[in-house]
């Protein structure tokens, strides 16, 4: 224990060690707000998108971001994909030049690995619905919080509080915990707690609910026609639970709710939704953020500047990813000057932003130490947790005729046909490697969304050389695509192969693939295409782990919520 000697601390060898400096008192929110011009106050509400990839300080892309900080004096940034060091160094550089600390946000729904290369990638959160264990939701939140804060991120735009009660939903799907509102509520609350316990702010999205849609709001305007009674008993239930758990932020949905608004006005632009329902009825006192203002449901109709003004007037605080930050700043400042936005209303939002920055301690320290990153990001404890969750979430929907059981019984020869979008170039490769290490002989072939006749002919040749086939399909929600489905040519290949030889269909994403290939006899869901999920599938096909997950959603017409075929492990 250190002893004090004349204002100095004595170390174990008696050498003097400087005492830590006295903490600098954080400025009050009132004093900060009073020092800001109207333009600077508006800047605090604008959150542009920033790539996380490396750029030199004199690179034109970095200079754009530097101008946002220096000239527009934006209040924060939303960071995208990059390495831990690239993200942290870029944010440190921008934080150091910003007049006020920046509030940095990111989408880390299934862990920091969603944006930070090398950080822990958990399966999509519907996997937690498949285990039904709230501790798994807490773990994802905890890992996202610890790893995200290590690289300079303060706000996770998660958890997704949507109840995915529409199997045709093209953009939520596995991003939701499931379709039972009470279960989703418990898991949302634990995810929030995991974030908070590790220093990160939590966001509930997409208010008041994006689960019952069939249109991607990145492209067009979904309309939910359900009456208020249904919204109150289903969609709003997890949001109430998240608010009760202390969620700091709520993100609006670019969706029309005629039962709430009396029109097809998007929720993001509706005072009835963001002020009447969220603030007044649900009594949310935190920060309201728009979904991305670049999305087609908003910007195409109203334009970059007017969309931000309307969103603010409806009740938003933060204006996320305006199509043009300059236009957003100019339009908001002009709206204040014209009296459309009162100084009092502007001050309320800026006060909320400054209070959160103060709560996070950003006025004391706004940069992160680079030498701590390798101790936290991607650490073994988080990776082990992701592997464990991936195994326990595996859900066997059916195994007619014991196709899967036969594969698990002993090593064999397998044709592995993998499918995923172009962004996932390594789809199925880790699965193939793990199967080979386990003793199987595997011939691997990769199909893509743009694969043509020659590729499918090659896939058939690979299938013909093995006695059994595994299809591993990563069909997942992708912004701007507008649908979530297997290509018809692949669905036909799966059905034909299944009718001719032992076949197992593994979903590394959407659980609803069975609707396209209803005749397939063995169907296993792993919920995600991340490495832990592929590893879990390999262990399951090798018979080395049990399968015990349960559907958190129904798969019409025959499989209800809670369904799952339990299978013990059969090989050491």
Q: List the catalytic residues.
A: 291
DSSP H helices in 14-68: 29-34, 38-43, 60-67
Instruction: Using the CB atoms, write b or e for 459-482: b if 16+ within 10 Å.
Output: beeebeebebbbbbbbbbbbeebe
Residue 507 host element (H or E): strand 503-507
Distance from the Cα of residue 281 to its chain's centroid: 27
Backbone angles phi, psi at 522, to 5 degrees: -130, 120
| Rounded distance between C-alpha atoms, residue 402 and residue 399, angstroms | 5
Residue 522 host element (H or E): strand 522-525
Q: Torsion angle, CA of 393/560/172/420, rounded to 10 degrees?
A: 60
Q: Compute the half-sphere exposure of residue 161: CA atoms within 13 Å on the CB side of its CA.
A: 33
Burial environment of residue 11 by CB neighbours within 10 A (0 to 12, 13 to 18, 19 or more):
exposed
| Rounded distance between C-alpha atoms, residue 508 and residue 529, angstroms | 5
User: Is residue 204 helix, strand or coil?
Assistant: strand
Task: Say which DSSP state 114 is in.
Answer: G
| Rounded distance between C-alpha atoms, residue 376 and residue 152, angstroms | 13
Backbone angles phi, psi at 250, to 5 degrees: -125, 130
Task: Show the tokens assigned to 93.
Answer: 């550089």
Q: Torsion angle, CA of 120/124/129/135, rounded to 10 degrees?
A: 10
Task: Say which DSSP state 112 is in.
Answer: G
Place of tokens 């592929």: 534
């Amino acid at each position: 224990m250190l002893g004090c000697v004349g204002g100095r601390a004595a170390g174990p060898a008696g050498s003097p060690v400087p005492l830590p400096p006295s903490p600098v008192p954080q400025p009050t929110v009132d004093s900060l707000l009073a020092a800001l011009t109207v333009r600077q106050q508006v800047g605090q509400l604008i959150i542009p998108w920033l790539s996380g990839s490396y750029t030199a300080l004199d690179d034109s892309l970095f200079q754009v971001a530097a101008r946002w900080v220096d000239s527009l004096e934006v209040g924060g940034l939303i960071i995208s994909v990059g390495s831990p060091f690239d993200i942290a160094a870029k944010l440190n550089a921008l934080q150091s030049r910003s007049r006020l600390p920046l509030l940095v946000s990111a989408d880390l729904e299934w862990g920091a690995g969603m944006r930070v290369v090398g950080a822990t990638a958990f399966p999509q959160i519907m996997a937690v619905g498949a285990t039904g264990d709230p501790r798994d939701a807490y773990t994802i939140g905890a890992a996202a919080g610890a790893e995200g804060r290590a690289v300079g991120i303060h706000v996770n735009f998660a958890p997704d509080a949507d109840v995915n009660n529409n199997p045709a939903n093209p953009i939520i799907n596995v991003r939701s915990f499931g379709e039972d509102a009470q279960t989703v509520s418990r898991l949302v609350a634990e995810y929030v707690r995991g974030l908070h316990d590790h220093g990160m702010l939590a966001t509930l999205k997409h208010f008041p609910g994006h689960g019952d849609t069939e249109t991607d709001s990145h492209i067009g305007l979904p309309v939910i026609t359900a009456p208020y009674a249904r919204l109150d008993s289903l969609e709003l239930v997890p949001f109430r639970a998240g608010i009760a758990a202390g969620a700091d932020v709520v993100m609006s949905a670019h969706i029309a709710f005629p039962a709430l608004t009396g029109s097809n006005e998007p929720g993001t632009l509706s005072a009835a939704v963001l002020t009447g329902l969220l603030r007044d009825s649900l009594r949310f006192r935190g920060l309201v953020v728009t979904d991305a203002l670049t999305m087609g449901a908003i910007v195409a109709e109203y334009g970059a500047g007017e969309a931000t003004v309307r969103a603010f007037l409806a009740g938003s605080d933060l204006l996320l990813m305006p199509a043009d930050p300059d236009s957003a700043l100019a339009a908001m400042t002009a709206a204040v000057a014209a009296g459309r936005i009162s100084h009092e209303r502007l001050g309320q939002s800026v006060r909320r932003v400054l209070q959160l920055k103060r709560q996070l301690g950003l006025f004391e320290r706004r940069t992160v130490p680079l030498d701590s990153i390798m101790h936290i990001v991607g650490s073994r404890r988080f990776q082990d947790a992701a592997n464990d969750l991936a195994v326990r979430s595996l859900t066997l929907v059916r195994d007619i005729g014991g196709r899967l059981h036969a594969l698990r019984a002993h090593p064999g020869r397998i044709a592995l046909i993998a499918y995923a979008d172009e962004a996932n170039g390594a789809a199925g490769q880790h699965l193939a490697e793990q199967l080979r290490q386990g003793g199987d002989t595997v011939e691997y072939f990769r199909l893509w969304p743009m694969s043509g006749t020659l590729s499918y002919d090659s896939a058939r040749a690979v299938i013909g050389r093995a006695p059994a086939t595994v299809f591993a399909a990563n069909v997942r929600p992708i912004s701007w695509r507008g649908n979530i489905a297997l290509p018809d040519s692949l669905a036909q290949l799966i059905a034909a192969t299944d009718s001719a030889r032992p076949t197992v269909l593994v979903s590394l994403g959407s659980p609803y693939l069975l609707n396209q290939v209803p005749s397939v006899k063995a169907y296993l869901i792993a919920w995600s295409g991340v490495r832990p999920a592929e590893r879990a599938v390999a262990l399951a096909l090798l018979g080395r782990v049990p399968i015990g997950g349960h559907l958190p959603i129904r798969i019409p017409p025959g499989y209800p919520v809670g369904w799952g075929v339990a299978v013990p492990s059969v090989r050491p």
